[in-house]
Structure 1
Amino acid sequence: MTTTLTYIKVWQKALKAEIQHLKKEGSTKYRLLKGRLFSKGNTYIYFFDTPSFIKVPVGSTVRIEWGKKVADGRILSSEGYSIIVELKENLGSVLSESFLLYDPWELLDQLFQRLEDMKESKRKRGRIKRLMDPSMPAKHPIANIKSNVHELILRSKYNPVTFVWGPPGTGKTYTLARVVANKYIKEQRVLVLSHSNQAVDVLMAEVSLFVENKGHLREGDMLRYGSQAGEAIQDRPFLTASHLIEKHYTNLAENKEALLEERRFIKQDLSKSFSKRDSDRLLHIEKKLTSVLEKIRQKELEFLKEAKIVGTTLAKAASDPAIYEKDFDLVVLDEASMAYVPQAAFAVSLAKRAIICGDFKQLPPIAAARHPLVNEWLRENIFYQSGVSEWVEEGKLHPHLFLLKEQRRMHPDISSFTNRFIYHSLVGDHRSVLKARLEISEKMPFENSASILLDTSGAGSFCVKDRASNSRINVWHLLLSVQLIHEAYLGGIRSIGYVTPYRAQAMLIEQLLDEMLRDRLEDADIIAATVHRFQGSERDMMIFDTVDSYPQERAGMLLVGKESERLLNVAITRTKGKFVHLCDYGFVRNHVYQNKTWRKLAEHQRTSGKAIGPNEIGTWIKNQHPSLQWMHARKLERVKADIDEAIKTITVGLPKGSGLSDEWIELLNRRGKGVMLTFLAEESAPGLRGVNQATELFPFPFIIIDNQLTWLGLPVEANKRALPPYIAARVESKQFVNLLTSYING
């Protein structure tokens, strides 16, 4: 059996491997425009202008790179378009363009030190042992359990560690908040932790709201520690130390604001013209501000000492002795499935009892280094490494695993897939969720349908790789996604998400939405992002664009690799009432094994949901966008008019092995005088007059007119894998033209 000391040593090796990788590859680099030496002594203080806001915490260790010189230092002030840095060596009086390097490994180093401390604490090692080997018998009474909340209260009272499995929409925040509130009423001290500020904010807000409604809340008993208030607690400022300072130590708060304002004015003056007088004034202000901030810090520590419920991030807890040197009655680690195993171990070491809450069927933690120990301990979550999830794969629940069994987020037609294939039929739908989601599913697009497979088979070969990143792009899917969002908005849906595994596709859809839709959708809440960014979010309607299609010869690992089930689970379960799966089903059928989750999803939607075939594109598109129209590719009247009206340039691109018909040669030769024609094809077209020939080949045909207008899928004879009814898209978008021309000129 592995000892706790062995675990700690192995975790430290994993952290060290990740730290070394980040030191070598992971520094975030910020450009500095101009540096001036403020003062010199044992250290050297510099003032820098910045072209943009630099989000590096005050006190962070940084490096300044100027030419071949590199100096270590720390941030003294970071505000607006300027920063003040204290360096250990003199780089000169005036610095030209330089760079600030900020290393995120500092937080991991602090976690490393906390693990080192644990080696000397038998009590902390005992708590970690129970986390890593939860084989002790469950001691909570089960005869009189009244509800989910009551069961979790009992589990956390009688057992040292309780794992909570909270699939999407199953009331995780609701349940945890009421358990924490129960401990508060019983005068116990609780530490709420998560890797993200947002998760801490949401849970602390829910706890305070519940206790307040019960009439038990006393000011100062609940403290959101170590961060500016996020959106979730903006209307509950009494949770923050800054609010308590303003209320009880008004002079300190006013002095701080006055000094900050004076510092801003001096910095503005220094950015315009540097003077010794202003630099001396700024140093004087910095000293006074440091003194005031230290006094505020002492008051915050007093608030922390008195608080019964404290919420903060794992990073803050590991770096602040005011947290890691204290002992709590209960620690609640939320979103534990996204925390490193050493972070979970650190969390449980801080309290007598622990609740570890997350969903091990969602995305795992993210680490950068390629190292076997990093793979084992930083890329996998505590549910797996403690052995708790193994029971689920065997069809059982671990004695210390508490499952929230009813989801209230998704329309049952959407959850039917995840309930069965992801959660082994252990999770069901709450009786209220169908009625709650009908209003969304009834709206366009695809009225009265909640789960839709939009099959793009037969559209053509539109999937290419981004030149810079090798990430995949599907230009046909991009335009269909714009159309879907347009239809949804006109149908009355305002909360819309677009999610894809591929970063390049996500970036391009954002650009197209900004250009084509944002000004039309002023009151809509639309987010387009990769799957990783969506974890923890939800939308009324989600578009899941899987991108992969021909001419690619195999499916991407993001969709069929080791972590693909978790990625697809996150993509599906963000949805409340309408889930549109944009997918080339023919590609999936031919290139994805039947046991893969993506294939299962497509097959499930074809049999249990609503499958929209390629021949139905004209039936579901009911509102043509002014800048995006879909047309029968055999009807050429509109493209003829566009060619006739061309003023400067026409570019025609054909796939390998394609040529132009006589009809198209005649059509292009009709262009106006002075209109330059560029022909991108494997071979020249006899009879085509005044043409610039190039050999840059695309897997799909297109026409670009005056760098403003694109026809996609024409000429139809050259559209490989296209099937009847042949469809072409006409799009007026400079961003879309830029996408295609970046490949031509790249």
Structure 2
Amino acid sequence: MASTPVESFVTKQLELLELERDAEVEERRSWQENVSLKELQNRGVCLLKLQVSSQRTGLYGRLLITLEPRRCVSAAVLPSNSFTSGDIVGLYDESGQLATGILTRITQKAVTVAFDESHDSQLSLDQEHSYRLLKLANDVTYKRLKKALISLKKYHSGPASSLIEVLFGTSDPSPPSEMPPLTFCNPALDASQQEAVLFALSQKELAIIHGPPGTGKTTTVVEIILQAVKRGSKVLCCAPSNVAVDNLVERLAQWKQRILRLGHPARLLDSIQQHSLDAVLARSDGARIVADIRRDIDQAWAKNRKTQDKREKSNFRDEIKLLRKELKDREEAAMLESLAAANVILATNTGASADGPLKLLPDGHFDVVVIDECAQALEASCWIPLLKARKCILAGDHKQLPPTIVSHKAALAGLSRSLMERLAERHGAGAVRMLTVQYRMHQAIARWASEALYHGQLTAHPSVAGHLLRDLPGVAATEETGVPLLLVDTAGCGLLELEEDDEQSKGNPGEVRLVGLHVQALVDAGVRATDIAVITPYNLQVDLLRQNLAHRHPELEIRSVDGFQGREKEAVILSFVRSNRKGEVGFLAEDRRINVAVTRARRHVAVVCDSRTVSNHAFLKTLVDYLTEHGEVRTAFEYLDDIVPENYSHEGAQAGGKPRGSAATARRAPGGTGPGQKKPSGAPLGSSEPQPQPSLDGGGSREGAGSRAGADGFRATIVEFMASEKTQLEFPASLNPHDRLRVHQIAEEFGLRHDSTGKGRERFITVSKRALPTPAAPGGRAPLCPKTPSSKQPEPPEQPEPPEQPEPPVRESSGWDQPDLKALHLERLQRAGAQQEQRAKEGPCAPGPAPRKLPEKKKKRDARGPVAIELPAEEDFDALVSAAIKADNTCGFAKCTASVVTLGQLCLHCGRRYCLGHHLPEVHGCGERARAHARQRISREGVLYPGSGTKDRSLDPAKRAQLQRRLDKKLDELTGQRRSKRKEKGK
């Protein structure tokens, strides 16, 4: 007989759960046998070297112990770990396990564990001793999942029968019911949220609310619950984690609903303890009676221990048995009364099991089950609450992180596929409503996620579409705070990941430093550290980042991707870590993990990665391409002084310039374009206007295809202008000095008039057509006839009108003295006019001035100009241009003709380029200025970099951590060997 879809599903799920269970058991067995404690800590399942910071009594008499890293540990923060609230943990010291408790709260600096009353008298913890915590296996969860699947297989009649048929495709969903006009409790809902609420209420079996990041999914779910309660429905609301459930409790409590939170009080937030079942029972009418019965039981036990008479002991035992039965009956009656009075009962998926308080309620008590964050839950866990109602509403985002699975084999076989993902693929738009307006991210951040994962349907609300960091109170407008997207590319910079065979995780010290510099730039601009998050996929990188940044920015949050889902920050910095010659990306290949990481940001996302490595994965390549097209792109060379040659420092040649302290102070003000950036920071997203290419740091012309393409574009523009009837053409002020030089060259080549006017950033070029030559008229200008350098004929007697005196040219702050050819040309015309006027006064036969010879010594000194080459006659403009270009590409030292196009050093003091043989200031004549600069710097900073002052011999934090791990591993191995020898001796 062929099995039904339900039976096939249950059989497969039980097999996969068994694989997952075996993987967990094997992992924990290997922890105890073969893996050192330090390695367990690196894997995130153990916390070492903890000390007790406080002990107190919590709710209902439970002992709360807070532990923190020992003060002798260099970093005052906990290492990266996978502990979460609600985990079962073991407390150990040197002698072994002391107790088992439930983790109630964990921060970057401390962890709090709750122990039952029975441990209160047994635990005696010394604040000077060292303890450790180890995550323990949770058999209860596995047993509940297995029990739920077996109940599903045996379920034949009951309120959930039609729901089961719809969810497994054996029947179609019923037509939606007609909805009367609704008055929304929250009038601020947008159109997509209102539509989702109406859809969820009208469906009879299944409704799926797909909420991408920042779309107000929880707000929509709360509205659905409130409307269902108004219609008289009893609602069971669940989620896979305690944090998600507590979030719903806090939101529903604002609406003064009768809500009840099931679960261990130690797993609940302090703010919602009043809504827990224990707290409600403590406030009930029968609480005093229950307390009296407990006191009677304790007294009976005390009398039983004191008496020696067997008959009296038997009587006391019978009395205790009766008291316990009465206690149970009264507690269950009070519990049932509290459960029945609540309109909304909230619990985790496994907390809604049949062996808990809900067993007291009759079948069919609930009208609807709501499962929030359904995409993060195992489907088997969803069936625990689903069997209790005839209708379900699922909310979540299956494009974000899936459930966490230990067994890779089970995950590939389908255990990681959530119920929401399966039903969304099966029913499509017939059962799904997606929220389309997000209220978190800048439109540039949201657009990538929308196009990559949400079919372009996700849009930014106007209130957040253009917000940037610089819009926050107290934040200055800098290059970092003025862009929503930033890519810091480490490709080709040698910042490779750590390649350690004994490391389970991955780290990249180079990216750690880049992240630190960018964090410092944001903090210097006024962004609070609490508004910044650093996210990385690898636990080792989390540890390296915390070691490097925690002491400077204690409030900075550094977490893995998995620990940040559901959160948001104003600025997010991502470190992708992977940078290797093989192009391996590891589990960065999980698209949903990258989606979560990017969409945590509100105003600014900075991605630090090796584009060459990560682009080997198609989805990551779409992110890199998007950042390149719509964001600002920088190379790691712009940040790291120890990689960039000193002569290419961003300080430029300004006397007494500020030392480069951070990336923010080293670059230009916002509005200029940084090196390597695709678009200026102020350019609107998606702008199709061609942007000029920025000039290289330290000056110098751009060579290669990009430069030729720019010249061809200018040439085409000028040719089109010549063919038109226009008489004047203006080029924008956004051209850099090199582009303006090319425009001057091309205009001169075509015989056009070209003027450069304005100052600084307002400088622009105007190209106009020359008037056709006409017979000389009184006061008219005679055409100038260029003569060759060898010509010794006197100039014609005509006296041309001296050209208009132009405004003195303003040099561009490009870091070196680039010759302004237009200014030279205007000066040549002026001198030529003066010479013609002088010759006219002296007569037509006056011989021209003989060329003046410079003394040998003087000539040698003057040869240290831009370059020691012979300049052509002033009237030959083309030759002058060629000479200037040649001067730019030739060593600036006297009589040296070495090319500096590929290998050249820029002098910070004279602004000229020299070959490797003459680049030292003392060699080419800048020794005095170099010494003055060194004295000024050492007086200001105390250290002259490189080569003088007190050298920092402290070990790099990343290297120190790596060596510490190796040392701990070696010590553990030696300790194990000593123990084995002792055992042998004992035998």
TM-score category (smaller protein): 0.5 to 0.7
1:527 to 541, 545, 557: 557
1:735 to 957, 980, 986: 957
3-state SS of paired residue (1:578): strand
C-alpha deviation, 1:205, in angstroms? 1.6
Amino acid corresponding to residue 194 of structure 1 in structure 2: A
C-alpha deviation, 1:99, in angstroms? 11
Distance 1:505 1:290 in 2: 54
Amino acid corresponding to residue 6 of structure 1 in structure 2: S
Q: Which residue of 1 aligns with 2:413?
A: 376
Amino acid corresponding to residue 339 of structure 2 in structure 1: L
Distance 1:56 1:252 in 2: 35
Q: Which residue of 2 aligns with 1:471?
A: 505
C-alpha deviation, 1:547, in angstroms? 0.9
Identity %: 20
C-alpha deviation, 1:6, in angstroms? 2.4
C-alpha deviation, 1:160, in angstroms? 0.1
1:538 to 568, 573, 592: 568
CA deviation vs aligned residue, 1:617-658 (integer Å, no higher than 9, x gap): 3779998389xx99xxx9xxxxxxxxxxxxxxxxxxxxxxxx
Q: Which residue of 2 aligns with 1:446?
A: 480
Name the CA shift for 1:443/1:182 in 2 (closer, same or farther; >3 Å). farther
Q: Which residue of 1 aligns with 2:621?
A: 599
Name the CA shift for 1:459/1:162 in 2 (closer, same or farther; >3 Å). same
1:222 to 254, 259, 262: 259
Distance 1:486 1:64 in 2: 39
Distance 2:438 2:953 in 1: 41
Q: Which residue of 1 aligns with 2:378?
A: 340
2:167 to 131, 150, 162: 131
Q: Which residue of 2 aligns with 1:507?
A: 543
CA deviation vs aligned residue, 1:308-339 (integer Å, no higher than 9, x gap): 10111112112643236744111111111111
Name the CA shift for 1:468/1:318 in 2 (closer, same or farther; >3 Å). farther
Name the CA shift for 1:433/1:324 in 2 (closer, same or farther; >3 Å). farther
**Kept after mapping to 2: 8 A contact 1:338/1:381:** yes
1:24 to 23, 26, 37: 26
Q: Which residue of 1 aligns with 2:582?
A: 553
C-alpha deviation, 1:147, in angstroms? 5.8
C-alpha deviation, 1:380, in angstroms? 1.4
C-alpha deviation, 1:475, in angstroms? 0.7
1:316 to 348, 351, 354: 351
Distance 1:323 1:536 in 2: 28
3-state SS of paired residue (1:402): strand
Amino acid corresponding to residue 243 of structure 2 in structure 1: Q
Distance 1:404 1:426 in 2: 9
3-state SS of paired residue (1:206): helix
Distance 1:161 1:79 in 2: 39
Q: Which residue of 2 aligns with 1:414?
A: 445
Q: Which residue of 1 aligns with 2:732?
A: none
3-state SS of paired residue (1:580): strand
Name the CA shift for 1:176/1:478 in 2 (closer, same or farther; >3 Å). same
Q: Which residue of 1 aligns with 2:611?
A: 585
3-state SS of paired residue (1:331): strand
3-state SS of paired residue (1:375): helix
C-alpha deviation, 1:609, in angstroms? 1.2
Name the CA shift for 1:507/1:254 in 2 (closer, same or farther; >3 Å). farther
Q: Which residue of 2 aligns with 1:496?
A: 532
User: Greater Rg, structure 1 or structure 2?
Assistant: 2
Distance 1:56 1:576 in 2: 25
**Kept after mapping to 2: 8 A contact 1:408/1:429:** yes
**Kept after mapping to 2: 8 A contact 1:452/1:580:** yes
Matches within 5 A, 1:646-661: none
Amino acid corresponding to residue 501 of structure 1 in structure 2: P
Distance 2:178 2:352 in 1: 33
2:593 to 543, 567, 574: 567
Q: Which residue of 1 aligns with 2:461?
A: 430
Distance 1:56 1:426 in 2: 34
Q: Which residue of 2 aligns with 1:306?
A: 341
Name the CA shift for 1:163/1:325 in 2 (closer, same or farther; >3 Å). farther
Q: Which residue of 2 aligns with 1:12?
A: 14
**Kept after mapping to 2: 8 A contact 1:201/1:230:** no
Amino acid corresponding to residue 545 of structure 1 in structure 2: S
C-alpha deviation, 1:423, in angstroms? 1.0
3-state SS of paired residue (1:398): helix
1:207 to 227, 252, 256: 252
Distance 1:572 1:75 in 2: 35
C-alpha deviation, 1:252, in angstroms? 5.5
3-state SS of paired residue (1:568): helix
Distance 2:650 2:415 in 1: 48
C-alpha deviation, 1:582, in angstroms? 0.5
C-alpha deviation, 1:513, in angstroms? 2.2
**Kept after mapping to 2: 8 A contact 1:245/1:253:** no
1:611 to 612, 633, 647: 633
Q: Greater RCO between the two (CA within 8 Å, min separation 6)?
A: 1
**Kept after mapping to 1: 8 A contact 2:85/2:267:** no
Distance 1:556 1:348 in 2: 39
CA deviation vs aligned residue, 1:156-186 (integer Å, no higher than 9, x gap): 3433011111100011011000110111122
Name the CA shift for 1:400/1:57 in 2 (closer, same or farther; >3 Å). closer
C-alpha deviation, 1:7, in angstroms? 1.6
Structure with higher strand content: 1
Matches within 5 A, 1:145-156: 148-149=193-194, 151-156=196-201
**Kept after mapping to 1: 8 A contact 2:375/2:419:** yes
Name the CA shift for 1:60/1:236 in 2 (closer, same or farther; >3 Å). closer
**Kept after mapping to 1: 8 A contact 2:571/2:603:** yes
Distance 2:594 2:575 in 1: 11
Name the CA shift for 1:730/1:66 in 2 (closer, same or farther; >3 Å). closer
Name the CA shift for 1:149/1:50 in 2 (closer, same or farther; >3 Å). closer
**Kept after mapping to 1: 8 A contact 2:442/2:465:** yes
3-state SS of paired residue (2:18): helix
C-alpha deviation, 1:382, in angstroms? 1.6
Distance 1:459 1:155 in 2: 53
Name the CA shift for 1:730/1:419 in 2 (closer, same or farther; >3 Å). farther
Name the CA shift for 1:614/1:21 in 2 (closer, same or farther; >3 Å). closer
Aligned residue pairs, count: 568
C-alpha deviation, 1:536, in angstroms? 1.3
Name the CA shift for 1:116/1:489 in 2 (closer, same or farther; >3 Å). same
**Kept after mapping to 1: 8 A contact 2:281/2:338:** no
Name the CA shift for 1:75/1:610 in 2 (closer, same or farther; >3 Å). closer
CA RMSD of aligned residues (A): 5.0
Unaligned runs of 5+ in 1: 34-48, 86-96, 263-286, 392-396, 519-523, 635-710, 716-728
Matches within 5 A, 1:3-152: 3-26=5-28, 84=119, 102-122=136-156, 123=158, 124=160, 126-133=162-169, 135-136=172-173, 138-141=175-178, 148-149=193-194, 151-152=196-197
- Could you state the TM-score of these two structures normalised by the residue count of structure 2? 0.50
**Kept after mapping to 2: 8 A contact 1:169/1:410:** yes
Amino acid corresponding to residue 577 of structure 1 in structure 2: R
Distance 1:178 1:58 in 2: 28
3-state SS of paired residue (1:347): helix
Distance 2:236 2:336 in 1: 15
3-state SS of paired residue (1:410): coil
Distance 1:247 1:142 in 2: 39
Distance 1:247 1:100 in 2: 36
Q: Which residue of 2 aligns with 1:656?
A: none
Name the CA shift for 1:739/1:81 in 2 (closer, same or farther; >3 Å). farther
